Chain A
Amino acid sequence: MQGSGAVRGSPEIEIGFTLNGRPTTVTVDPAARLLDLLRYDLGLTGTKEGCGEGECGACTVWLDGLPADSCLVPAFQAEGRDVRTIESVDPARLRALHVSGATQCGACTPGVVMTALWILENPALLESHSIREIMAGNICRCTGYDGIIEGIEDAMSGRLP
């Protein structure tokens, strides 16, 4: 099934980037979204589309170590960059989120996890912002957020990995 969201017909361009630690070369339509490149061309369907306009955060990936809404990133902008998706995450790191009830339906969850891991790897963020502020870019309709916030707190405190 073909699927990228781009308007096809323009000449494709070749880009190279690091995807989950591996050098990757692909040809993309100049108007294609990074989200569609990942999901439909590369089969990495862990990254979800929730709104397609950068409001919900379900499509969050890391670009050079920073969370980004992959629905708003043209695929060609991955050129030369380091892209990390949910597929790169070691399940052992998700124990605290699992126990706290951070996931229900799961559609927002990969995006939530990518932002949560950004906090875990950059605890200095919490000197200027609360977990609730940082997670505000990831909409969850199921949990009311407490399960997510507590999971991050538990992981930060080392109570659970």
Chain B
Amino acid sequence: MERIEGLAKLTGAERYVDDLAVQGALWGMTVRSPAPRGRIREIRFDPAVDWSRFTVVDHRDVPGANEVLLIEPDQPVLAADRVRHVHEPVLLLAHPSRDAVRRAVRSVQIVVDPEPAYLDFRRPPGADQVQRGDDNVIKRLKIEKGDVEAALARAARVVEGTYRTGAQEHVYLETQGMLAWEEDGVLFIKGSLQCPYYVHRAAVRALGRALDRVRIVQAPTGGGFGGKEEYPSMIALHAALLALKSGRPVKIVYDRGEDMEATTKRHPSIVRHRTGVDADGRLVAQDVEVVMDGGAYVTLSPVVLSRGIIHAAGPYRCDDVRIVGRAMFTNSPPHGAFRGFGAPQTHFANERHMDVVATAVGLDPIELRRRNLIIDGDETATGQVIADGVDRVALLDRAVELSGWAVKERDHERLARTDPWLRRGMGLACFHHGAGFTGSGEVVLASRLDVAGLPDGRVEVRSANIEMGQGTLTIFTRIAAERLGVDPSRIVIAEADTGRVPNSGPTVASRTAMVVGRLVEEACDDLRARVSRPDATGDDLRRAIVDWHAANPGAELVGRAAYEPPPGVRWDDATYRGDAYAAYGWGAYVAEVEVDLRTWGARVVDFVAVQDVGTVLHPTLARGQVQGGVAQGIGWALMEECRWKEGAMTNAQLTNYIVPTSDDLPSLRVYFEETPWPGGPLGAKGLGELPIDGPAPAVVNAIARATGAAPTEIPLTPERLMDLLDARERGRARIA
């Protein structure tokens, strides 16, 4: 089965929000804060502009609560009297001409009386920088198992390390955009987004409208990667405010610079490890501290931190573990959801640290991991017993074998003896990723999904989960077709329109195929039961649906499903103990890199990705998810660097924020072991995020082995590697 909407995309026929021509629409734009923190003293409008021709909106035009509702209501739709980060939205303008509105934005000056900004989350805030509680901490979390101090005290070796990761920009190729209009008293907002009901909830709150007077419709979405999880609510509200005030449709489409400066990025992190090992290289204590830069509003930072700390001890067995985490308020634009959601940061630290531990105890990094990987029956840091039938050691062994590790290491040693400049190395990472919402999250979400039998006998899946490139349309079609025993051409996936589809939850957290796909199966079963043909397939089912409609003219035939947690899952939010996720994907990735000592540039020359995510629902799509995630991970490891000055990104353009091109990457070799998971549709687990957890540590471990450097920070740009190797040379010179 091929990608449902593939040809429409290949031919350019797919209509994204900026492709929709709307008669009489205005273009909207946002005037933003020039300062990271301060009081708004004045908004100056250039008198040379005829402002009567513009629709102008400020915080006083927000009819409901001035809040972009998510976890906490702290983020305003438009700043009222103070600003907390550069590029914070203050004012909105709309005009029929896009050029006119672009020029007009530059003709408004937001005058801010500055206050001391808190910009470096790694240092404690000064007294005059405190803006939340008494220490700027947004959220603290702790996982504790056993007695880590006692275990460290009796360990044969204690190995310490501190690891840092930078912000990462999503660079979905379609920038963010929204279109809003009012029709018969109902406000429609259509655009590029992952979570229709997040936008709906925020719109009802800020616009003070009844639930049925707001409809959110997803337009085809050109990539998201988490970047269109929370920020679309902001843009949707802005377009809505302009549309309501002007009485005309309004479209806001960010250009690349605005998108990069103003929207969310992956949380920067600093992670400290103190690890106790016994004489055989077995982990006896893991003491981990995780700190993340949340930025100027809470947004999703508490849950990003949560997923980060839960994954921080890696896929290893250890009886005495303590993981403490905190997310810091800073005057940076809020950091937010990005594929992996906190786990890539902590996996980078943990897997880089495992190589440091291996060196310290004199074990090869493969053997150290082999001795410590969870085997069925072992517990994670939260006390979750893993028993899913996956052989994690076999995954590691297969990745090592497929990479040609042993032969290549000999080649690399020879290269180092014979070539003055080129060095190669192999690097490894073992990791896991929990699929679905954390802990009790899926129970709280209480997702619902419908499958309708249409009068012509086709079947329509109605869910709020969206296609953004990852393959939802194709996967849901396959799941429904298999469950009903009908040809995929008989399945229709409804547009994600909150006026038509129930709330099956957000399209995030590797939950769509696994959690919502299971609901597709259950709703299919319910549909069959409603036509009193629980076993009907193919033409029999089609006839049964057509007959039902003949007997019930004008009625809707809908099979329904509601989320029920898998049996035996328990989680305690208060103690952070229990089953953090219903299922985990597991991976073992190996990178081979080449470093040129003349340029300090590192290139990945081979990459092997072995994983077990249960049954693979679609080999081409699954492979594409892994390759895309690995490419993003390699970019994050080597080249993607957000540079900051006074709280503003200074390289908000693709000219100097560098993402990998086809010429920067080798063919990425992908392999699946398939251990079916009974809780998922056809045995599948979540897949989307797992592939970004492994590449960065694998690549950096390979650079360490190639050069003898001990990198601890990404992106490991040529500049950083030069500094590391220079420092080592200087150290040698001093010794000599």
Interface residues of A (CB under 8 A from B): 1-8, 39, 43, 45-53, 55-56, 58, 85-87, 89, 91, 94, 97-110, 113, 130-133, 135-149
Contacts and interface: CB of A to CB of B under 8 A. Distances in A.
Nearest to B96: A2
Interface residues of B, number: 70
Nearest to B621: A101
B14 A106 contact: yes
Nearest to A135: B662
B274 interface: no
A52 B175 CA distance: 11
Contact of B98 (A5, A56, A103): A5
A108 to B, nearest CB: 4
Interface in B613-666: 620-621, 623-624, 626-632, 653-655, 659, 661-665
B469 A142 contact: yes
Contacts of B201: none
A5 B97 CA distance: 9
Q: Taking chain A's interface residues, is the majority helix, strand, or loop, or is none over half, making it mixed?
A: loop
A47 B12 contact: yes
B226 to A, nearest CB: 12
Contacts of A141: 170-173, 223, 225, 628, 631-632, 659
A18 B669 CA distance: 43
Interface centre among B24, B103, B172, B632 (most CB of A within 10 A): B172
A36 to B, nearest CB: 9
B716 to A, nearest CB: 19
B663 A136 contact: yes
A1 B25 CA distance: 5
13 contacts: A1-B21, A91-B7, A106-B220, A109-B12, A136-B662, A136-B664, A139-B661, A142-B624, A144-B624, A144-B631, A144-B665, A145-B662, A149-B662
Contacts of A149: 662, 667
B221 to A, nearest CB: 7
A55 B22 CA distance: 29
Contact of B469 (A45, A105, A148): A105
Nearest to B2: A98
- What 8 A-B pairs are tightest by C-beta distance, nearest first? A46-B12, A105-B469, A107-B222, A106-B9, A144-B627, A104-B469, A107-B173, A144-B631
Contacts of B98: 2-5
Contacts of B733: none
B624 A104 contact: yes
B19 interface: yes
Contacts of B170: 141
Nearest to A3: B98
Given A105-B221, A141-B223, A52 B10 contact: no
A87 B220 CA distance: 18
B490 interface: no
B627 A146 contact: yes
A91 B22 CA distance: 27
Interface in B1-51: 2-3, 5-16, 18-19, 21-25, 27
B6 A53 contact: no
A49 B176 CA distance: 12
A91 B99 CA distance: 35
A87 B8 CA distance: 11
Contacts of B27: 1, 3
A140 B469 CA distance: 11
Interface string B95-109: 011111001000000
Contact of A8 (B3, B97, B172, B659): B97
B34 to A, nearest CB: 22
A128 to B, nearest CB: 14
B510 to A, nearest CB: 16
Given A98-B2, A144-B628, A1 B654 contact: no
